[in-house]
Amino acid sequence: MKRLMSVLLVAAIAAITAGGCAPVVPPGPAPATPAATATAPATVTPSPETSTPAPVAGTSIKVYFAYHEKMQPAARTAPAGTKALLKAALESLVAGPTASEKAAGLVTMVPAGTKLRGVRLSGTVATVDFNAAFASGGGSLSMTDRLAQVVYTATQFPGVDSVSLQLDGKDIKVLGGEGIIVDHPRTRRSCEGETPAILIDRPAWGGTLKAGDAVAGTADVFEAVFRIEVRDSAGSVVFASAVKATSGTGTRGTWTITPALSGAKPGVGSIRVYEPSAKDGSPIHVVKVPVTIEP
């Protein structure tokens, strides 16, 4: 009997142990979690409009207006964080010159009521879509200048070489009643007639010229030679020099020069360029751009 009770007691203890604690199973590999799962690096393709990285602070951009019926860049600043700089520049173009710029002679040929519907980049061609108001009003000069304003404004950015136009989302071959042909992308070269003999492209109107900064642009003048003057806020000439473009006399060349600003009085001054007349040396093709001088 004692033997039987001992056997039963051992069996009961074994049963309780089996029911109260599951067998310990050595842990296997932990299941993969999203953080631990190996994946190929994500490829981010920027939108054609946002191919420029977001700036830390406001970014300097330019818009082109007409000055004595020829192209002239004016300085603008895109708000901090702006990625779509091309779109921001075109929207600033549509907004037009400021009151002070108008008073100084800058005008826009883009009609009131024009709206930018969109812009996209395919290769090096920017397709710019305006509403129908863009094609309204004005004669041939107005049409060619407004087209040049768009082309110059868009092609300031690296990677944009030419512009195609759309109105209300549709491709057009002719702009306005004057019959300006736009059946192919337009470049700065195709806008040569709307470009001044001497173009100051940097710094822009209302921009800043600091010590060590270069002044640059394009020119098509006799023997590629012209003159430049920089005046400080007191009106004193602080720099004057001859400049020679890379080509001239019927061929537009590029030019750049770094003016010395030693002794200049800071504030709003000017950059003036002109070609001395071959006849009597008097200034012709004069362009004068107001800039802030920072010696």
Q: CATH code at 206?
A: 2.60.40.1220
The reply to whether 61 and 182 lie within a common domain is yes
For the whole model, what pTM was predicted? Answer: 0.80
Domain assignment present for residue 43? The answer is: no
The reply to whether 55 and 189 lie within a common domain is yes
Domain assignment present for residue 263? The answer is: yes
Burial of residue 228 (number of CB atoms within 10 Å: 0-12, 13-18, 19+):
buried
Residues 218-250 have pLDDT tens digits of: 999 999 999 999 999 999 999 999 999 999 999
pLDDT, one tens digit for every residue, the chain (295 residues): 333 333 333 333 333 333 333 333 334 444 333 333 333 333 333 333 434 444 456 899 999 999 999 999 999 999 998 989 999 999 999 999 999 999 999 999 999 999 999 999 999 999 999 999 999 988 999 999 999 999 999 999 999 999 999 999 999 999 988 789 999 999 999 999 999 999 999 999 999 999 999 999 999 999 999 999 999 999 999 999 999 999 999 999 999 999 999 999 999 999 999 999 989 999 999 999 999 999 9
Tell me how many domains the chain contains.
2
The reply to whether 71 and 153 lie within a common domain is yes
The reply to whether 76 and 134 lie within a common domain is yes
The reply to whether 176 and 221 lie within a common domain is no
The token pair that represents 243 in the structure block: 């400049």
Supply φ then ψ for residue 201, to 5 degrees.
-95, -20
Domain boundary among 158, 177, 194: 194
At 66, the amino acid letter reads: A
The reply to whether 208 and 185 lie within a common domain is no
Domain assignment present for residue 151? The answer is: yes
Domain boundary among 194, 228, 262: 194
Domain assignment present for residue 269? The answer is: yes
Alpha-carbon Rg for the chain, nearest whole angstrom, is 33
The token pair that represents 291 in the structure block: 């800039």
The reply to whether 54 and 124 lie within a common domain is yes
Domain boundary among 141, 164, 194: 194
The token pair that represents 263 in the structure block: 């002794």
Residues 119-142 have pLDDT tens digits of: 999 999 999 999 999 999 889 999
The reply to whether 187 and 204 lie within a common domain is no
The reply to whether 87 and 135 lie within a common domain is yes
Domain assignment present for residue 12? The answer is: no
Domain assignment present for residue 39? The answer is: no
Domain assignment present for residue 26? The answer is: no
Domain assignment present for residue 3? The answer is: no
The reply to whether 262 and 177 lie within a common domain is no
CA distance 110 to 118: 16
Q: What range does the domain containing 167 cover?
A: 48-194
The reply to whether 215 and 248 lie within a common domain is yes
The reply to whether 230 and 290 lie within a common domain is yes
